Amino acid sequence: MPTLNWIGKEAVVKHHKEVPFRLLEPVPELSCGDSASGNLIVQGDNLHALKALLPRYAGQVKCIYIDPPYNTGNEGWVYNDNVNDPKIKKWLGQVVGKESEDLTRHDKWLCMMYPRLKLLKKLLAEDGSMVISIGYHEVFNLMPLLNELFSTKQLSCVTVQTSGGKPSGSFNYQHEFLIFILPAEFEPNPMNFTGGKERTPFEGLTLATFDKTQRPNQTYPIFINLETSTLHSVGESLQERKKNGTYNNDLSEFEYNFSEAPEGTVAIWPITSKGKQCVWRLTSNRLLNDWEKGYIKITPNRQKDSLNKFSIQYLPEGVIKKIEKGELKVSGKEATSPTLTFGENKTVGSEIPTIWLEKEFFSVKGTTLLNDIFSKKVFNYPKPLALITEILRALTSQNDIILDSFAGSGSTGHATLDLNKLDDGAREFILIEMEDYAETVTAERIKMVINGFADIEGTGGSFDYYTLGAPMFTDQGHLNEQAGAAKIRAYVYYTETKQRLTPGPSPEERGEENVHFLGKHHDTAYYFYYEPERITSLDHAFLATIKTRAEQYVIYADNCLLTQEYLTGRHIIFKKIPRDISRF
């Protein structure tokens, strides 16, 4: 698949590695409630904030939603990253072009997005999902860029009607887009607005996309007892007839014989509602097993001109899994057959439609709600709450971490709290906003949602407010000791293993007397021998305190008093503080 190229791409491909790692500084007076909730609001450049989140959240975020600048030509956003390429420097000194012919603004937008997407990818869990709101101005650039970055994922562009229309040139634009990035085998949850109409979980057994020549093993008659309307038996498949010699002609010439049914039964062959011959979705053995389990439903055919007197339905694998997990409640069985019944408990389609037309998703809904919360206008074009809620409903479970790095007015945090209240969930949100309204709008909105506003009952919950602090390293390349040992240790462990240093038992409780032990990963034990008050040395005395058995040891210290030959013989790698601490 060809990759997307633009002027300046070479300068930003690895720019996320050049961004300094900065600490997150708590601001207690702007936080709300119990700090143990896990919810965060971070004020600061999202590129730096995303980098700061890596040691704690790399590979942990299950759902990312972002609403980046649409780059319409009428926006005031400025790409202010310190990129050293001369071409980028020249662009950074200019205002984003407002004329539609000035394509340099598209290059500049891609340069802004690329390093942020790289960091978001690092934060996203392996089985996590990502959704991006975007307008027509950049959707055609963004899709190939995402194909390059997320080549193993499902990518689909959903059209959302957002208003009655916005004239632009010769066109009246009534829509925006949502780009979904999902794992290959992802199964969304049913959605309230766009999950399809309620229907029984049974689906038609015919498979119209194949014929008897392609799947002769799925071409066979099903015999239905006329008196009880239940399954009597199945006949030989076309493949079996070919194998035992009862049919010797070409597969394409095989005729569906409705007269071969045993006495008191009727034969049902795989034929579509339009009369096209096809095959069954299940082999005959699977059909018989599923009948005994109650997964097959037989009803009189309402299509009077059909050669089949009965319709046969089955439960797909996804529905069976929901039954086994208790997500779809079975109310009993039919009176005269083993077929399962579901009463009023019907299932809805969980696939995500590619066109969303509900008025609850119109942009004006977001504006009206925010005005009601603040009793005045405080923000332009906030995302409708229902839109974000449906995205999160489809993609998240009760304990997932949700990230929005272009948080704006805080709709994503609001939707997360609403969903938690609805299903007693414990989802956590991380909101990043660089503008000053992070305090006055984003955080203030979340506080009012938690505590209640107007006549709306509060959801409960809490969040911690952070700003971006000093870099981990000083301009002279030394460790910033103001960071504290815990944050430095977490940083070092992440740079070595790309794993989060999770809080847990002390080294002594884990059977490791050395308090400088970080953890063990892939049979390598990591030690960070760091003490701000004195110079540390890797020597025989330090090695004597190590109790953890491992194939290899990585040990950080200020100095090493052991020979390289000695270290090599004992599978020890020495790394000097701070010279050998990686900048990720």
Residue 85 has pLDDT above 50, yes or no: no
Bridge partners of residue 402, in order along the sequence: 63, 429
Which of 26-35, 228-237, 445-454 is predicted with the least confidence, judged by mean pLDDT? 26-35
pLDDT of residue 1: 58
Averaged pLDDT of the chain: 87
User: Is pLDDT larger for residue 96 or for residue 107?
Assistant: 107
Residue 347 lies in a domain: no
Residues spanned by the domain of 551? 472-576
Q: Are residue 220 and residue 324 in the same domain, yes or no?
A: yes
Residue 92 has pLDDT above 60, yes or no: no
Which of 106-120, 162-176, 567-581 is predicted with the least confidence, judged by mean pLDDT? 162-176
Within 375-453, residue ranges assigned H as helices are 385-395, 411-423, 437, 444-451
Alpha carbon 4 to chain centroid, angstroms: 23
Q: Are residue 291 and residue 434 in the same domain, yes or no?
A: no
CA distance linking residue 381 with residue 406, whole number of Å: 13
Within 135-279, residue ranges assigned H as helices are 136-149, 238-244
Record the tokens describing residue 171, joined without a space. 């066109």
Buried b (16+ CB within 10 A) or exposed e, 67-89: bbbbbeeeeeeebebebebeebe
User: Is pLDDT larger for residue 274 or for residue 231?
Assistant: 231
CA distance linking residue 405 with residue 442, whole number of Å: 12
DSSP classification of residue 205: -
Confidence of residue 195 (pLDDT cuts 50, 70, 90): low
Residue 105 has pLDDT above 80, yes or no: no
Which of 68-77, 174-183, 240-249 is predicted with the least confidence, judged by mean pLDDT? 68-77
CA distance linking residue 370 with residue 432, whole number of Å: 19
Which of 96-100, 511-515, 563-567 is predicted with the least confidence, judged by mean pLDDT? 96-100
Q: Are residue 491 and residue 425 in the same domain, yes or no?
A: no
Residue 57 has pLDDT above 70, yes or no: yes
Beta carbons of 469 and 25 less than 8 angstroms apart: yes
Beta carbons of 294 and 333 less than 8 angstroms apart: yes
| β-strand pairing of 401-404 with 61-66 | parallel
402-441 confidence digits (pLDDT tens): 999 999 999 999 999 999 999 989 999 999 999 889 999 9
The amino acid sitting at 182 is L
Residue 582 lies in a domain: no
Which of 49-58, 283-292, 316-325 is predicted with the least confidence, judged by mean pLDDT? 316-325
Residue 160 lies in a domain: yes
Q: Are residue 372 and residue 283 in the same domain, yes or no?
A: no
Within 129-244, residue ranges assigned H as helices are 136-149, 238-244
Q: Are residue 179 and residue 243 in the same domain, yes or no?
A: no
Alpha carbon 367 to chain centroid, angstroms: 27
The count of C-alpha atoms lying within 13 angstroms of the C-alpha of 325, restricted to the half-sphere facing its C-beta, is 8
Confidence of residue 89 (pLDDT cuts 50, 70, 90): very low
pLDDT of residue 81: 52
User: Is pLDDT larger for residue 509 or for residue 523?
Assistant: 523
Alpha carbon 363 to chain centroid, angstroms: 24
Q: Mean of the pLDDT values across residues 123-140?
A: 95
- CATH no. for residue 58? 3.40.50.150
Confidence of residue 91 (pLDDT cuts 50, 70, 90): very low
Confidence of residue 93 (pLDDT cuts 50, 70, 90): very low
User: Is pLDDT larger for residue 181 or for residue 85?
Assistant: 181
Residue 145 lies in a domain: yes
35-49 confidence digits (pLDDT tens): 667 899 999 999 999
- For residue 33, give Cα distances in angstroms to 413, 448, 451, 463: 15, 12, 10, 7
Instruction: Report the 10 Å Cβ neighbour count for 189.
Output: 15
Residue 2 lies in a domain: no
Q: Are residue 225 and residue 183 in the same domain, yes or no?
A: no
340-391 confidence digits (pLDDT tens): 998 765 555 668 999 999 999 999 999 999 999 998 888 888 999 999 999 9
Q: Are residue 228 and residue 376 in the same domain, yes or no?
A: no
Confidence of residue 78 (pLDDT cuts 50, 70, 90): low
Residue 93 lies in a domain: yes
Give a three-class secondary structure readout of 443-495. HHHHHHHHHEECCEECCCCCEEEEEEEEECECCCCCECHHHCHHHHHHHHHHH
Q: Which of 359, 384, 446 is nearest to 42 (CA)?
A: 446
pLDDT of residue 344: 64
Give how many domains the chain has, as a whole number.
3
CA distance linking residue 494 with residue 59, whole number of Å: 11
Residue 163 lies in a domain: yes
Helices and strands: H and E segment counts in the chain: 17, 28
Alpha-carbon torsion, ordered 376, 377, 382, 388, to 10 deg: 10
Q: Which of 262, 259, 257, 256 is nearest to 224 (CA)?
A: 262
Which of 214-223, 279-288, 358-367, 469-478 is predicted with the least confidence, judged by mean pLDDT? 469-478
Instruction: Report the 10 Å Cβ neighbour count for 310.
Output: 17
Which of 298, 318, 341 is the last residue before a domain boundary?
341
CA distance linking residue 451 with residue 462, whole number of Å: 10
Whole-model pTM: value is 0.70
